[in-house]
Chains A and B, each alone.
Chain A
Amino acid sequence: MSDVLAPTEILALANILDELDYYQVLHIRPDASASAVRSAFHQSSRAFHPDSNRHLDADHRQAIGRISKRITEAYTVLRDPRRRRAYDEALRGGRTRMQIAEAEAGARQQATDELEGKTPNGRRYSAMARTDVARGDLAAAVRNLQTALTFEPANAHFKTKLQELKGQLEEERRKKRPAPF
């Protein structure tokens, strides 16, 4: 983003703010890296920070205030990979703006979904698998988690957990096997 905007451009930008998504607010591509997000935040803040615009009149300062607050909001959501994922999902649904608390809750929900499943059956079988692990029945745990995966084939956490359990099960079996001569 260029360093200084003409006063009319400032007002125009403030007016269309709600139509811009966070990537557009920060002038970055949707696949921008974390460090690109950060340096874009610094650049945009520099241009629109209330401190560097004290000489403008009240209308323009108010517009700048709106823009700078939106820049901070965009950064606060996009800098956190979890929140960013939640936002991206909302963005695909046509929303440009998301309150930070909402992004955070969304991120937590995604994490919970990932950890425990997001379908009723996925949750049910993964919970059973956890109970199996707790009572030491690894074979049953593997069976239950495999079942859970059939309901949620894309769940990465289920996959890694299943690999882990299979490894443990294999290990256990090796130990139980009588040592060969």
Chain B
Amino acid sequence: MAEVAIGIDLGTSNSCVAIARPDGVEVIPNAFGENTSASVVAFHEGGKITVGNAAKAQIIHSPGRTVYSSKRLIGRYFFSEEVKKAQAICSYRIVEGPNHSVRLQVADQQYSLPEISAMILREMKQVAEAHLGHEVTKAVVTVPAYFNDNQRQATKDAGRIAGLEVLRILNEPTAAALSYGFGKGLTQKVAVYDLGGGTFDISVLEIGTDVFEVLSTCGDTFLGGDDFDDRLIDLLADEFSRTHGVNLRKDPFAFEKLKVAAETAKKNLSIDDEVEIRIPDIAKNDAGESLSLERQVAHDEFASLVMDLVMRTFKVCDEALQQANLTVRDLDGVILVGGPTRLPLIRSAVGDYFQKVPKTDVDPDEVVAMGASIHASSLIQPEQNAFLLDVTPLSLRIGVAGGLAETVIERNTPVPIEQTRTFTTFQDYQERVKIRVYQGESRQAEENELLGQFEFAGFRKARRGEVEIDVTFAIDSDGLVKVTACDRATGQQASTEITLSSGLSDEEIENIIERGDTERVHTPSLDDSAELPVPAPTPPPVAAAAPPPAASEPPPPVAAAAPVAQAATPPAGPAGDEIVTLDEPGDDLADDDELELVAGVETPPAEMHKQALEVEDEGAPEDPVPLEGRPAPETPAVEPSAPTAEASEPVESLAGDDVTEEYLGEAGTDLSQYYDDSEKS
């Protein structure tokens, strides 16, 4: 039998699995004949786990044991905004795990987010296996284009936990474009408008006969169909509170009923002009009387509730078009992705914005999984490929002195790519530097997502500004990031390489796999109503359980680190000689200058001295400020002729934090201002 690989759209609200075969792409229905399954995981008494639409029905009965919209939390830190927001509205318990990670507390057990996603992936895998009649081990899994590296890593980990080899983490809009344009011999520029349950993405692509080039992608991970529901929920809850004096938000059962009703109403508004919401006996008042909620909602009223959210999506579209250097008139088509795009108000607003009727020939709930399956099949059969050229959605930055973050790879740069920038030490005879890696669009380090940090030591000790450290950032085709630091002047290969972590170490992942919770996912099957062989639920593990003697097949080795004594130490600790710490991200920026990096030399190794010789007589507009009592760094770091704004005055950069900030601040766009000032003075 030929090797097969499936495509899985792991959505915030719903997931979908498809397979591409020579005779076409097929969306695989579950045992109930549904093409999509709710991304909801229900933990039943007795250990059984179910996923899908039946699990979703559990929300009302056991809100604390039913996990939904978990994609909003994957790859996030516990202190992030999104987690706080989720804590306020979710009925399951969100707790803090090691390294500021997020854990979900269900009954007496804690689960990491990759585990929850793994359960959904396991369900999709089993749905495919039941349909195909054989095992499936390979998949392409999609993520929102705007997912950062932490979120991508966590998704990849989820695949591994679910027993899948993830061939590629593919961006959802790219998958949709593939599904739309594959094999049609098109030459078009298209926009993919992807409004999902929890995220909004827009990608602009150029489709050629066999190549799909993403020109730009932008998004908002805080905007989705769920926010539309929330607006309706707010309206209903506020009205109810005014009329009856009862706050439905305080009653988890009532609130879940309200949520279900609001979501159903929204969906029906895709078909009908007006819907009636009716929830009998939703709550009791102080007198103990039973109260019901009844409300008519017209499409227009709903539209006015959410129009500002819709407009927010177009701001993002503006940005994407600008990044692609195109206008709406340059586009040949708009593809809609995601359930909420069924709403007439979205369709007409999108039509108005793009000045063309959106393509609706592919089901917006299935188009992503179909595209993923097409890519999956071309990855295992390289001869029949349409190849994808994607971009990185977020700028990759490195933390420098003054709490700032310097761009190393700008957003919307095609991948795979590798870029090196050279940095220097901040103090005399500094022994170590801490390299912090961020993703995001802010010059203020803390406003970006911290991907990870590591210490680099063992380089030549010298006066500040004399040590040159090359920091190389690489992004692979999955959009995953690798960072390497290397002292170049000594020629010594003291480089440290890390793969930034999702918060789960290899060891933790292995423990999770061994614990086998995801194997408790029970997928109903059509042909045999009898239970599938489900392993008996394992007892909740003791903190550091010894591995079973007959260890099941180990997962593929990642990175190195010789097998450390199993889980005897807390898994959070760094393995071997890798120094990967994720403690106190964001708030320890100023803790010790000793570890700061300063942007200094901009030029790559070989050219630097050449550049230094080309110093123009003009010099910098202002004289470099000498450092009190310290010699100014040697030429390479001062380097007035380097074509970057930063490099024109590196001496100031070394004078101290405040000055550094000023000088780094102008690296962006404000050059003209600078020159004006210097002339006036």
Contact = CB atoms under 8 A, between A and B. Distances in A.
B518 to A, nearest CB: 27
A41 B210 CA distance: 13
A94 to B, nearest CB: 7
Contacts of A102: 602-603, 642-644
A123 B679 contact: yes
A49 B417 CA distance: 11
B672 A69 contact: no
A119 B619 CA distance: 11
Contacts of B416: 50, 65, 68-69, 72
A76 interface: yes
A104 B419 CA distance: 13
A42 B213 contact: yes
B596 to A, nearest CB: 20
Interface in A86-106: 86, 90, 93-95, 97-102, 104-106
A108 B671 contact: yes
Interface in B607-650: 607, 610, 614, 618, 642-646
Contacts of A106: 643-644
B385 interface: yes
A115 B672 contact: yes
B472 to A, nearest CB: 10
B96 to A, nearest CB: 37
B266 interface: no
A123 B680 CA distance: 11
B430 interface: no
B407 A54 contact: no
Given A46-B387, A52-B385, A108-B671, A100 B679 contact: no
Interface string A34-69: 000000011001100111111100000000011011
A119 B417 contact: no
A102 B422 CA distance: 12
Contacts of A152: none
Contacts of B602: 99, 101-102, 105
A24 interface: no
A62 B240 CA distance: 63
A53 B477 CA distance: 13
A101 B407 contact: yes
Nearest to A52: B382
A93 B614 contact: yes
Contacts of A95: 606-607, 610
B79 to A, nearest CB: 30
A127 interface: yes
A50 B614 contact: no
B195 to A, nearest CB: 29
B477 A50 contact: yes
Interface string B251-280: 000000000000000000000000000000
Contacts of B310: none
Contact of B418 (A53, A73, A75, A105): A73
Contact of B389 (A42, A90, A100, A115): A42
A21 interface: no
B385 A51 contact: yes
B382 A55 contact: yes
Nearest to B418: A69
Task: Give the most central of A73, A99, A120: most B CB within 10 Å.
Answer: A99
B675 interface: yes
Nearest to A68: B416
A123 B408 contact: no
Nearest to B619: A120
Nearest to B407: A101
A105 B643 contact: yes
A112 B387 contact: no
A124 interface: yes
A100 B417 CA distance: 10
B69 to A, nearest CB: 32
Interface string B466-491: 00000000101100000000000000
B675 A49 contact: no
Contact of B643 (A42, A54, A109, A119): A109
Nearest to B675: A116
A45 B389 contact: yes
Contact of A86 (B643, B672, B679): B643
B477 A105 contact: no
Contacts of B407: 101
Interface in B200-222: 208, 210-211, 213
Contact of B644 (A76, A105, A119, A123): A105
Interface in B658-681: 667, 669, 671-672, 675-676, 679-680
Contacts of B610: 93-95
Interface in B584-618: 602-604, 606-607, 610, 614, 618
A25 to B, nearest CB: 13
B263 to A, nearest CB: 38
Nearest to A125: B679
A115 B474 CA distance: 35
A101 B421 contact: yes
B417 A73 contact: yes
B25 interface: no
B238 interface: no
A127 B679 CA distance: 8
Given A54-B379, A101-B410, A45 B387 contact: yes
Contacts of A93: 610, 614
B409 interface: yes
A42 B421 contact: no
B414 interface: yes
A100 B413 contact: yes
A46 B389 CA distance: 10
Interface string B168-182: 100000000000000
B419 A101 contact: yes
B414 A72 contact: yes
B166 to A, nearest CB: 14
Contacts of B418: 66, 69, 73
Given A46-B211, A52-B385, A101-B410, A69 B474 contact: yes
Interface string A111-136: 01001100110011001000000000
A127 B643 contact: no
Interface of B: 168, 208, 210-211, 213, 378-379, 382, 385, 387-389, 407-410, 413-421, 474, 476-477, 602-604, 606-607, 610, 614, 618, 642-646, 667, 669, 671-672, 675-676, 679-680
17 contacts: A45-B389, A51-B168, A51-B477, A52-B382, A72-B417, A73-B419, A76-B414, A95-B606, A100-B409, A101-B408, A101-B419, A102-B602, A102-B603, A102-B642, A102-B643, A116-B675, A120-B618
Given A49-B477, A98-B604, A99-B420, 14 more contacts: A41-B389, A42-B213, A50-B476, A68-B416, A69-B474, A72-B413, A97-B607, A102-B603, A105-B643, A109-B645, A112-B671, A112-B672, A116-B676, A127-B679
The 6 closest A-B pairs by CB, nearest first: A105-B644, A106-B643, A69-B418, A72-B417, A127-B679, A72-B414
